[in-house]
Structure 1
Amino acid sequence: MKSASVPISLQQAVMNTLRQKLLQANLYLNRDFPEPTINYRQRGTTAGSAYIKNWEIRLNPVLLIENQQAFIDEVVPHELAHLLVYRYFGKVPPHGKQWRWMMEEVLNIPANRTHKFKIDSVRSQTFTYYCSCQQHELTLRRHNKILRGESHYICQKCGKKLIAKSIDSLNPNLYPMDFKMHRDGKGVNPREHR
């Protein structure tokens, strides 16, 4: 995965939007919410996260650099709205009616729950799994949880357990050869005994 250093000019644009939207909210709500901390340590395909206890917004530097104006116009207010909703309403569902109201009525931004940015540059390795109705791509973390027997995943559509596509979907670095167990518990590489 790519890491990126956010140029100062882009950080300033983020802060300008944050301050403008925060002022807008403070005036509308007749409050004096403090300016949240911004950091650029969000990873993966998530554009941003709001940490209500720390009053902090984490932004994905790669997605910010690749989608500059759209990211600033959409993601910064989206995460700010989460913080404002928590301070104004208390604990409520993350994308519930209060959040939608904050986005649309107070911040004048469409209330979209997810971004539509291209994520090829931040996408991690995935593993193909199937259920009875479709193909699923699982992250390395979920795949490894399945391999360790710590978890299994169910399709939300058909309710069936997800099954790995094949031995090819296993990480070749972890499993460099075909392997099967004999009754005596000793493994044998079938390529050597064909």
Structure 2
Amino acid sequence: MVTSSQKQALEQQVEACYQLAECFFDRPFQRPTIQYNQRGKIAGSAHLQKHLLKFNPVLYQENQTCFLVDVVPHEVSHLLVYQLHGASAAPHGREWQFIMTQVMKRPARRTHQFDISSVAGKTFLYHCQCQQHQLSIRRHNKVKKGTQYLCTQCKTSLQEVKP
């Protein structure tokens, strides 16, 4: 789904992020493996112990410029934090925020704002005492196995709305 030129552009952006970090920290960093098989609503993910970056091909296709400018530095920053500080650093903690703002020169946003309608899966309707909620199939299946979710507003348990 991702063309070779799109892969090349993303991989060049990963390399550019690493070069920024190497200049800033005055040290070399190991380059990661890159895969284009992230699914669902997630734009990208960094697998720290595997030294792997996974990117969502659908969201990349639909948001190429923003993806390269924001998602790639976001995920590379996770791997850099792990190489510099180990597993003790919080995923979006001050070390990650520092790399995003000072090294990558990007805002330290935790989530993307892409339209996810093309990748959103089936949802299930639930309710609490104050409103209705849309749960993903993953959360719906967890409820079926006994997990309870509480409304963040009224703190009551979510109940499935039966069709």
TM-score, normalised with respect to structure 1: 0.81
Q: Which runs of 5+ in 1 are unaligned?
A: 169-194
Q: Which runs of 5+ in 2 are unaligned?
A: none
- Give the partner amino acid of 2:58: V
Deviation, structure 1 residue 156: 2.1
The structure with the largest alpha-carbon Rg is: 1
Distance 1:39 1:92 in 2: 24
Distance 1:131 1:150 in 2: 17
Partner of 2:67: 71
Partner of 1:173: none
Structure 1 segments (4+ residues) deviating >2 Å: none
Mapping for residues 136-155 of structure 1, pairs under 5 Å: 136-147=133-144, 149-155=145-151
Once the two structures are superposed, what CA deviation does each residue of 1:82-125 show, in whole Å capped at 9, x if it has no partner? 00011112221111111110000011111111000000000000
TM-score, normalised with respect to structure 2: 0.95
Say whether 1:26 aligns with 2:22.
yes
Percent sequence identity is 43
Greater helix proportion = 2
Q: Which has the higher contact order (CA 8 A, sep 6+)?
A: 2
**Cα RMSD (Å):** 1.0
Say whether 1:159 aligns with 2:155.
yes
Mapping for residues 178-189 of structure 1, pairs under 5 Å: none
Deviation, structure 1 residue 150: 2.6
Mapping for residues 109-120 of structure 1, pairs under 5 Å: 109-120=106-117
